[in-house]
Each structure stands twice: as structure tokens, then as C-alpha cells.
Amino acid sequence: MRVWLINHYASDPKESASGSRHYSLAHRLHQLGWEPTIIGASVEHNSSKQRLQSDEKFSDTSNGGVAFRWLRTRSYVGNGPARIINMVEFTLALLRRRSLEGLERPDVIIGSTVHPLAAWAASRLAKRLKVPFVFEIRDLWPQTLIDMGKLSQKGFIARAMRQLERHLSARAARIISPLPFAGEYLATIGVDPEKVVWISNGTNVDEFDPSPASDRLSPEFTFLYFGSIGFANGLPAIMTGFARAIALRPDANMRLVFVGNGPEKAELLRLRSQLGLGDLMEFRQAVPKDEIPKVAAAADSLVLNLLDLKIYRYGISLNKLFDYMAAGRPIVMASNSRNNPVRDSGGGVCVAGNDADAIAGGLLRVLDSSSAEREDWSKKASDYVSEHYDYRVLGDRLDSLMREVVDEGTTS
């Protein structure tokens, strides 16, 4: 059977550091007998890299049994008008028949947010091709934007997005989400929560080696963050927390390293100068997804912070969190979210989200721990993620769901 996974911001892990949810799920589906095709925009979100030549409207690539179809969109930087135009371009490209020429008819189409226009176009394609539509809600738009203060609850855009969310939920044969309590949110807008299936983000555990690093990032005790450099990632609190930890312990031999790209990088470099710890805070370029295990193995501890947002009452599911847990390094997790896999696994130190003082305490707690305690944290995190969040487990769950949907469509 064939499945199209439509994700505007899709990425191939061999070329990008962006999240690999859809590739990893598709790769597992391929192992289970599916023919998966991921359809995404030609511009890579974090780097603004254009994948197409100037005369191409689309191009095809493949990796490990997973096909990619890249549709032309314009490049953009940041979150301004050019990004909105990029969203509209991708949506329109999806609806053009020539954009999909040469692709064999799927048995089911998954349309994924972040922004709902791509999912709407996926639902239109499913209707045109008379195949089941599965709606994937990765972020709760517009609620996330409302909670972040980017949209007004009663504004036209928020109301229009919510109406579209209801429409797509009603149209879908199933709704999947990586957020564990998304069904509760959807129930507040009239969606049957029984229609919602939780399929978390995850990681490929067998790509990580939790043994001690032979190639270290630096001679100091190194705390590492890898991932996007954006507002939602709460990096200023990590930097400020590290500075306060140094102030509390001037003799501490430690270093903070960021690996990644994103729109907030210039602002964070300014903050580093203001904190006066430039020699102890390092920013490195993003690496392809398949190089992350090697980078993580070269650190002593991994650190992650979440903003204190109401939206996290519906849970979190961060790709990088599960990579952190598979890496076999103790984690400092700053979060007030309803679920917390680090806390549940016992795989590190958990502190209040977006609280620089709490983060400082967490960093010093790991720094002062014994090697035996660090090994215990690391093993607990690795074992837990292997059992619950490996993409083999998650892909099997998606396989079962889609076979049910296809069977229902065949018999209806």
C-alpha cells in the first residue's frame, strides 16, 4: 500500500538537522511493506536552503526506501511576510495536478500541520483522489500562538484558524497527534476525543552510543543544547542560568555549547556579550540529523528548557528530548509541562521551566554528582526511551492505524 505524508517543513535527515518524525515513521512503514512518499517544500526551514534548480518546479529524492517530492517555494528568513507567502505557495502547489505528476495514487493521505493550510490542501487531495484523510496535529494552532501572545483569542485570524481546525477534524478518518492530551483540547472545540490517537515523537535508539566519549567537545565539563535556535526554545533562560551558576561557583570548570541554527541566533549572541561569558558559551552551526549522536556523545550533560506556557497542559513531545534521552547523558530538564519523560524515567534533574535560578541549580546539581549517579541517570533515560519512544514502536502504531483506516474506506 502507498501513503503520502504531506508536511510543509519535511526534512531528510541526511541533509538537515531538523526533526525527522516523518522520515523515521515513513522508514518504519517501508520496513512493514508500505510505499511512503513525503511531500514537502523545496526550502529548508531553518537554513533557508533551496533544494531546487532555478528551472525546476519540483524534484524527487529518496533515502532508505522513503521517497521525497519537493515542491517549489520561495526562500525566506525569519517569521515575516515572506514566510507567510511561502506557506501560501506550498498550499497552492499541492493543489496543482502537475506538481504531483508521476506519483502513483496513494491508499491514504496524512496531512500534517504546523500551519493548517497544508493540512487543508492534503484533505482536498484526499477528496479528489477518493482516499482516506488522516489529520496530524503537531502544534495546537491557533491556541499555541494565543498562549505565546502572538494572536488575540477573539481576533479574525484566530477564529478562522479554529474554524479550519474544526473542519479538518470533522473531515478526517482519524486524527493523530504527538501531544499526549491533544484529545482533551479537541474536545473543547467539539471533536470526539475517541477519534484522536496519540503517536508521540521519538528517536532511533540504535543510532546512539551511550558509552563514554572518546572525542570531547571541550576539556571542561560541557553542557550541550542541540536543536533550533528560536523563541520557543527558551534559550535565554539557559544562558542566564549558566551565568548565575558561574557566579555561584566561579571555580567551576564548565562550559555551555549550543549546536543549531535559527532566527534568534543573533539576539543570543548579543545576550552572550551582555553576560560577559563569551569564552564559556559557544555557538556552533547545525549538523545533519545523522551526526547528532556523535555530537551528543561528546558532551557531559544535555540541557533543555521550555517556556512556561498554558498550552503545555496538553503535553509536550519534542524530537530533541528523545534524542537527548537516547544519547546516554544526564539531562537537565526545565519544564512545567503536564508530562515530562525525563521525570518519568528518572533520567536526570528536573527543575521549573524558564526559571534561570532553577536552571542554575540544576546545572550545579549535575556538575557535583558522582560518575555513578550520572551513569544511573543516563541508563534510566536510555532504557525508558527505548521501550516507549523508539520509532520502531511508534511506526508499528501508525501502521496499525492506517491499515484500519484503509480497511474502513474499502468496506464503506
Q: Which fold has domain 2-202+390-411?
A: Rossmann fold (3.40.50)
Q: What pLDDT score was predicted for residue 23?
A: 96
Q: What pLDDT score was predicted for residue 229?
A: 92
Averaged pLDDT of the chain: 92
Residue 410 confidence class, pLDDT cut points 50, 70, 90: low
Q: What pLDDT score was predicted for residue 18?
A: 63
β-pairing, 66-71 vs 58-63, is antiparallel
Q: What pLDDT score was predicted for residue 214?
A: 55
Q: What pLDDT score was predicted for residue 7?
A: 96
Residues 372-408 pLDDT 10s: 999 999 999 999 999 999 999 999 999 999 999 999 9
Residues 151-161 pLDDT 10s: 888 888 888 88
Give the total residue count for the chain. Answer: 412
Residue 171 confidence class, pLDDT cut points 50, 70, 90: very high
Residues 118-130 pLDDT 10s: 999 999 999 999 9
Cell digits of residue 320: 530533541
Is pLDDT at 411 greater than 60 in this prediction? no
Q: What pLDDT score was predicted for residue 385?
A: 97
Of residues 149 and 86, which shows the higher confidence score? Answer: 86
Rg over CA atoms, the chain = 21
Q: What pLDDT score was predicted for residue 176?
A: 98
Residue 211 confidence class, pLDDT cut points 50, 70, 90: low
Residues 226-261 pLDDT 10s: 998 988 899 999 999 999 999 999 999 999 999 998
Is pLDDT at 412 greater than 50 in this prediction? no
Question: Mean per-residue pLDDT for 19-47?
Answer: 92
Of residues 234 and 79, which shows the higher confidence score? Answer: 234
Residue 112 confidence class, pLDDT cut points 50, 70, 90: very high
β-pairing, 133-136 vs 108-112, is parallel
Nearest 5°: phi and psi at 13? -60, -15
Q: Percent of the chain at pLDDT above 90? A: 75
Q: What pLDDT score was predicted for residue 257?
A: 97
Q: What is the Cα–Cα distance from 359 to 235, expressed in whole angstroms?
A: 11
Q: What is the Cα–Cα distance from 408 to 400, expressed in whole angstroms?
A: 12
Q: What are the extents of the domains in the chain?
A: 2-202+390-411, 205-388
CATH of domain 205-388: 3.40.50.2000
Residues 329-372 pLDDT 10s: 999 999 999 999 999 999 999 999 999 999 999 999 999 999 99
Residues 262-304 pLDDT 10s: 889 999 999 999 999 888 999 999 888 888 898 998 999 999 9
Model's pTM, two decimal places? 0.89
Q: Which residues touch 312 (CB under 8 Å, ≥6 apart)?
A: 306, 335, 336, 337, 338, 353
